[in-house]
Amino acid sequence: MTRIRFDHRPFSRATRALVAGLGLVLLSSCKLADVFDLSGNQSTMLTAGPVAKAQWDLFMVTVYVCTFIFIVVGAILAYAQVKFRARSESDEHAEPPPEAHGNPFVEIGLIAASVALLVIIAIPTLRDIWYTHDVPEDEKGNAMEVVATGNQWWFKFEYPSELVKLPNGGEAPLVTGNELVVPAGIPVRVQLRTIDVIHSFWIPKLAGKVDMMPNRANFLWFKADQPGYFYGQCAEFCGESHAIMRFRVIALSPRDYAQWLENQKAPARTVTPALLADAVDRSARVQFAAMKRNPGEALSASPAFDADPLNAWREMQHPEVGENAQLIATGRQLFAAKTCVSCHSIRGHEGIGISGPDLTRVGARSTIAAGVLENTHERMHAWIKDPNHFKPGNKMWFGGYNVKDGDNWKPNFTMNDQEIDALVAYLHSLK
Amino acid sequence: MAEVIAQSGFTGKQTARRATTFALFPRPTAKTGLVSWLTTVDHKKIGMLYGGFAILFFLIGGIEALMIRTQLMVPNNRFISAQLYSELFTMHGTTMIFLAVMPLNAAFFNLLIPIQVGARDVAFPRLNSFSLWVWVVGAILLNVGWISHFVPSWNFGGAPDVGWFGYAPLTSKSFTPDLSTDFWVLGIQVLGISSIVASLNFIVTIINLRAPGLTMMRLPVFTWMALVTSFLLVLALPAIAIALVMVMFDRNFGTNFFEVSGGGQPILWQHLFWVFGHPEVYILILPPMGYVSEILPTFARKPLFGYPIVVFSGIAIGFIGFGVWSHHMFTTGLGTVATAAFALATMAIAVPTGVKVFNWIGTLWGGRIVTRVPMMFALGFIWMFMMGGLSGIMHSAAPADAQQQDSYFVIAHFHYVLIGGATFALLAAIHFWFPKFFGRMVPEFWGKLSFWIIFVGFNATFFPMHFLGLNGMPRRTWTYDSNMGWNEGNLFATYGAYLLGLGMFTYFAVLVWSFFKGEKCGNDPWDARTLEWSIPSPPPEHNFAAIPTVHARDAWWYEKTHKEEIAQEKAAHIKAEESHGGIHMPDQSWYPLFAAIGLLVGAYNLAQLHYPVTMFGQQVLASHLPLAITGLGLMVAACYLWALEGPGGYHLHIDAEGKVTESRGDHH
């Protein structure tokens, strides 16, 4: 009988030390616990509504079953590896074990056990497929409907049952961009549309994703148990800036929601010296009741905001202190002159464009550029100055700042810092 | 024109049939040097070429992965641009699937199948050469776009950037107007041609060229899995071929299969793509299951436990694999009934997969486990594949999948299957069969060291990704914000990826060293069980001096214990064969290479059909159509001349001392 010829050299002590050292370097350079963090702003574990909760609970069923299988099969495999290991040269070259070819009873038993374990997963899976699909029958009367439309690379939100007066006397659904405000405790059915490629609508703490497919009437539903501020993101690759196509969902108590809605439906706020002199307007236009904090723990790089995002968002609803009516008026002129109006709408002011987000209340949003930048003066300035830096390939840069000239792009207009400051002041006055 | 009496390739007997042959390029006879490799029909040389190219692309795909991981190391990183990131993850996926794992499997199909079935070559040797060179053409087409980054005048818009799945309508001319998508479409299409041709070749080889006594239920499990894989390829690839033709027509000829503005249905692409794409997963993993099923018995020193069940579960996986494609589409709005059906089918496919794991453990049970490097990779395969398989079961719960789909959880899952599974098995296979085909051993110490670095690096990279996904990190994202709780997981994964890269570098560096300096070995260094270990290392061109008669599974193991019986049979076989004219060998040919070059010229120009041809800044032609037609014409001409060339072939004669002589022309 042929022998397996080969020297059997174990690792030297030095090698083992090297491996252990490398491992320690890896472990010590990041906080290990944070590697396995599940408490982020898009955690699927810290659920805030029944749909996400059903999905997480089902996931945990699969985790229990699979962990059980892994432990049992892994234990047997580990036992076999240790128990039947050749321990010495002579062991390796001993007569081979008997030529056993299998055992049908063992095989059938294991197949039956596998099927039984899968049934444990299958039952809640089937139940939840129907539950998560659409608003339950008994809640349908209570549900509200919104339309979310994916664009490269931002989200448009429409409220089909909330009509606003247009300057021409007509009526149209209320439109916002990138921040979806909904009432807490009420099922929300989101119709999913896209005007270009496939996007996917995902608010991890409230509901798993459903794709926005062209020529297909998809929808999803969710319900926020409590008022809160939630992170969402496009989850289907949709081109260059897919990574920075984000949005927020803000759930308010029904009363706050009604107030928010009322403010939204009014035409854009016009700042004049007379208005600023009027003390009444200095106070908040939207009065919020004291609300429970968002129970989700948000890790934050921008502590001021993330410490209490919902409160921070509420602060954004108030007109800013120290508004300059003249600067704002200049900004409003620039908004028209620099062709912003051809893509953006500010209802009651200038602008009829629909290919960019509606900006009627842009100053009251907590983020700009589709959830990418906090809506501060500095960041809006930076965004307007160089949008392509923050969102490569975006249509404000390609088509607005630059226009097509044959096969090439040529600059359409530029803005200096003073002009941008005026524009920012104007946009931030839109509360 | 010349008339010769044809020889039957099977029996070596003269037949009454007369063949007309015409050779524009005489058949090359070089056995070494460049021409021998370019015109080879030897399955072992073709296998090595597949393997060499595949390892090259495996390293390129690995570098792409390391660039991706470097970009994601810290939040809001600006290491590479969003556009380049899209190109990198598209080409990382495309490369690893089509240009690394599939051709590595093809390399082993070529190297092993003819020997394991006791044949001297594949059924259609020239067609085999054609598959190889067509595969090279596909690889060139997919990667040609990189040139745009270095030579601006070759304006292809960079490498493909629509994802390896190329979801419509992002592939539409309105959203990706540059040529990169056209090259992607044609590149995948050409690779499909190569795979279908190769698969048909292997199906015929396995079914028709088996040695006497080698019944189907005595086939080595690897060959069985290769057979199932070949059927999967033949049946799955037409779906993507059709879908790619549709995209090509949408982009170039104004059809609207997926064009939304014309009423097209982008969802159709996803169904066609995944009808191919899911069997593709099993195309990648079934051959690795075959390697492991060969390696475990060798080093446990007992036969595979439950051979028929392992074979039938492989076939079952192949069948059910065609019925689960929509589990990639749970979030596309399938509706409740379809979602439920595909969820249950997905759970069902876990059963035959689990059966394989049980039987591998059964193989170890009661064995005498000899821990050599291939065995370590094979055991690592079982552990990692179990992890990937179980997270796969988690995805079958469709509502839970709504959270995991397109998140890093999915990335963790399929890398456990494709690195921990397929790649570990391939690394085991490379180490296991390296001595057979190069006649030298790979040093045990360095092999084990590379195993441990790869094992630790792999888990450090991909285990945290389960948590990143559950913490809401979507995949295919160029960057992320710092307040999402993803910073530490990404940093850790990037360190792990560097370690994994170091391990892979060690593994292949040792392989290169062993090629030149490794200790020489004999026929059967592992005391293995199947026929390839019965012949010299490296095997001679004709593989077997005498075709063996197979009496049992693990034919070589049987031969080792029945030496006299087999020796007598072999002597009889040699005598019989010599009386028929000697060992019949296929002739080399230029035409497969020429046909592939014609295809390259044709496809390269077809991709840029509507663009003018310029030379030195001057427009020479209004479109690439004449060049495309020229190229495809060249291919047709080469195929025609290939047919006229005739089957050819020559004979080898082995005398009593084992000396080999060659003869051409008529024999008696």
The phi, psi pair for A161, rounded to 5°, reads -90, -5
End-to-end CA distance of chain A: 88
Which of B175, B355, B406 is the closest to A110 by Cβ? Answer: B355
B31 in catalytic set: no
Indicate the DSSP class of residue B532: G
Of the candidates B583, A264, A408, the one whose C-alpha atom is nearest the C-alpha of residue A398 is A408
A144-265 and A267-284+319-431 in the same fold: yes
> Residues of chain B with pLDDT > 70: what percent?
96
**Cα A128 from chain centroid (whole Å):** 23
State the catalytic residue, choosing from B90, B94, B171, B195.
B195
Output the pLDDT for position B659. Answer: 87
Q: Residue A172 phi/psi, 5° resolution?
A: -150, 160
B257-271 in b/e burial notation, b at 16+ Cβ within 10 A?
bbbbeeebbbbebbb
B452 contacts chain A (CB < 8 A): yes
Q: Determine the Cα–Cα distance for residues A57 and B410; give it in Å rounded to an integer.
A: 18
Name which of B301, B340, B348 is nearest A126 (Cβ-Cβ): B340
What pLDDT, on a 0 to 100 scale, did the predictor assign at position B3? 43
What is the least distance, in Å, from the CA of B335 to any CA of chain A?
A: 8
Q: Which residue of A has its CA nearest to B161?
A: A239
Mutate to test the interface with A, among B301, B386, B396 (most CBs of A within 10 A): B301
Closest C-alpha to B588, from B120, B10, B27, B198: B27
The domain ranges of chain A are 45-79+103-133, 144-265, 267-284+319-431
CB contact under 8 A, A59 and B397: yes
Over residues B297-326, mean pLDDT: 94
Q: What 3-state DSSP class applies to B34?
A: helix
Say which of A9, A37, A196 has its CB closest to residue B485. A37
Annotation says B43 is catalytic: no
B356 catalytic per annotation: yes
Q: Which residues of B touch A8 (CB under 8 A)?
A: 444
Q: Are the beta carbons of A131 and B399 separated by less than 8 Å?
A: yes
Mean pLDDT throughout B342-351? 95
Q: Does domain A144-265 have CATH number 2.60.40.420?
A: yes
Closest to B361 measured CA to CA, from A103, A66, A86, A78: A78
Mean pLDDT over each residue of chain A, to the nearest integer: 86
Predicted confidence band of residue A107 (pLDDT cuts 50, 70, 90): confident
Residues 6 or more apart in contact with residue B522 via CB below 8 angstroms: B537
Taking an 8 Å cut-off on Cβ atoms, the answer to whether B471 and A6 are in contact is no
Catalytic (active site) residue B282:
yes
* B290/A89: higher pLDDT: B290
Nearest to B593, CA basis, from B31, B134, B263: B134
- For B444, phi then psi, to 5°, come to -60, -45
Furthest C-alpha separation in chain B: 83
| Other Cβ atoms closer than 10 A to A133 | 20
Interface residue of A36, A43, A206, A231 to substitute, partner B, most B CBs within 10 Å: A36
Chain A CB within 8 Å of residue B215 CB: no
Flag whether residue B226 sits within 8 Å of chain A, measured between CB atoms.
no
Residues on chain A touching B382 (C-beta within 8 angstroms): 77
The HSE-up count of residue B427 (CA atoms within 13 Å, CB side) is 30
Tell me if B331 and A196 make a contact (CB, 8 A cut-off).
Answer: no
Q: Compute the average pLDDT of residues A140-168.
A: 93
- Asked if the Cβ–Cβ distance from B526 to A130 is below 8 Å, we say no
List C-alpha distances in Å: B586 to A310, B24, B42, B65, B126: 77, 18, 8, 41, 8
Residue B395 known to be catalytic: no
Q: What is the number of other CB atoms lying within 10 angstroms of the CB of residue B484?
A: 25
Phi then psi for A157, rounded to 5 degrees?
-120, 130
Please give the mean pLDDT across all residues of chain B: 92
Q: Say if residue A42's pLDDT is above 70.
A: yes
The Cα angle at residue B427 between residues B423 and B431, in degrees rounded to 5: 170
Q: From the candidates B85, B282, B433, B642, which is the catalytic residue?
A: B282
Residue of B303, B402, B479 lying closest to A208 (CB–CB): B402
Instruction: Give the largest Cα separation in chain A, rounded.
Output: 104
In CATH, A267-284+319-431 is 3.30.450.20: no
B406 to A208, A234, A322, B85, B410: CA distances (angstroms) = 11, 10, 45, 17, 6
B420 CB neighbours in chain A (<8 A) are: none
Nearest to B109 by CA among B414, B359, B426, B322: B426
Task: State whether A125 and B397 contact (CB < 8 Å).
Answer: yes
**pLDDT given for residue A87 in this prediction:** 82
**pLDDT of amino acid A15:** 67
Reading the block at residue B202, the tokens are 């292997």
Q: Which of B327, B440, B529, B584 is catalytic?
A: B327
DSSP string covering A284-335, please? -SSPPPP-PPP-SPPP-SSHHHHTSHHHHHHHHTSPPTT--HHHHHHHHHHH
DSSP label of B451: H
> Least CA distance to B463: which residue of chain A?
A36
Which helix (H) or strand (E) segment holds residue B426: the answer is: helix B424-438
B398:A125 CB<8 A? yes
Find chain B residues with C-beta within 8 A of A99's C-beta: 302-303
Task: Scan for tokens 């921070």, then name that residue.
Answer: A312
Q: What tens digit of pLDDT does each residue of B301-312 get? A: 999 999 999 999
Instruction: Name B465's Cβ contacts closer than 8 Å, sequence gap at least 6.
Output: B408, B409, B411, B412, B415, B489, B493
- Give ipTM to 2 decimals: 0.92
pLDDT on residue B530 = 95
The chain A residue lying nearest B456, using CA atoms, is A23
* Domains of chain B, earliest start first: 24-587+648-663 (1.20.210.10)
Query: In this complex, is the C-beta atom of B343 within 8 Å of any C-beta atom belonging to chain A?
Result: yes
For residue range A46-73, list pLDDT tens digits in order. Answer: 999 999 999 999 999 999 999 999 999 9
Helix (H) or strand (E) holding B591: helix B591-607
The percent of residues in chain A predicted with pLDDT above 90, rounded, is: 62
Residue B584 designated active-site: no
The yes-or-no answer on residue B450 being catalytic is no
Residues of B in contact with A101 (CB under 8 A): 303-307
Three-class SS of residue B438? helix
Q: Which of B361, B393, B444 sits opposite A76 (nearest CB)?
A: B361
Residue B555 pLDDT greater than 70, yes or no? yes
The C-alpha angle B535, B538, B540, rounded to 5 degrees, equals 65
- A281 pLDDT band, cuts 50/70/90, is very low
**CA of B422 vs chain A CAs: smallest distance (Å):** 19
Q: How far apart are CA A95 and CA A112, in angstroms?
A: 35
| pLDDT above 50: residue A246 | yes
| Torsion sign over Cα A333, A334, A339, A345 | negative
**Worst-scoring range by mean pLDDT, A373-377, B115-119, B315-319, B599-603?**
A373-377
Catalytic (active site) residue B50: no
CA distance A189 to B271: 27
Q: How far is B248 from chain A (nearest CA, A)?
A: 18
Among residues B199, B322, B558, the alpha carbon closest in space to that of B207 is found at B199
- Tell me the pLDDT band of A291, cut-offs 50, 70 and 90: very low
- pLDDT, residue A131, reads 96
pLDDT at B30 over 60: yes
Distance CA A177, CA B128 (A): 57
A194 three-state secondary structure: strand
Nearest to A86 among B369, B386, B402 (CB): B369
Disruptive mutation site among B470, B535, B554 for chain A (greatest number of A CBs within 10 Å): B470
According to the model, what pLDDT value does residue A1 have? 40
Name the residue facing B333 among A34, A111, A216 (closest C-beta): A216
Between β-strands A228-234 and A246-252, what pairing exists: parallel, antiparallel or unpaired?
Answer: antiparallel
Q: Nearest residue of A to residue B529 by CA position? A: A2
Cα atoms in the Cβ-side hemisphere of radius 13 Å centred on B507: 28
Angle between helices B336-364 and A104-133 (to 10 degrees): 150
Q: How far apart are CA B389 and CA B385, in angstroms?
A: 6
Write out B357-384 in H/E/C secondary structure. Answer: HHHHHHHHCCCCECCCHHHHHHHHHHHH
Residue B481 phi/psi, 5° resolution? Answer: -85, 160
Please list every residue in chain B whose beta carbon sits closer than 8 Å to the beta carbon of residue A94.
Answer: 368
> For residue B363, which amino acid is it?
T
Q: What is the pLDDT of residue A10?
A: 52
Q: Where does B95-168 have alpha helices with state H?
A: 102-116, 125-143
Cβ B359–A122 below 8 Å, yes or no?
Answer: no
pLDDT at A297 over 80: no
Higher confidence at residue B580 or residue B163? B163
pLDDT of residue A92: 76
DSSP for A102-163, written as a single string: --HHHHHHHHHHHHHHHHHHHHHHHHHHHHHHS--GGGGGG-EEEEEEEETTEEEEEEEEEE
Structure token pair of residue B283: 């195309």
Q: Which residue has the tokens 């539903």?
A: A221
pLDDT band at residue A28, thresholds of 50, 70 and 90? low
Catalytic residue status for B121: yes
pLDDT at A33: 75
- B476/A97 Cβ within 8 A: no
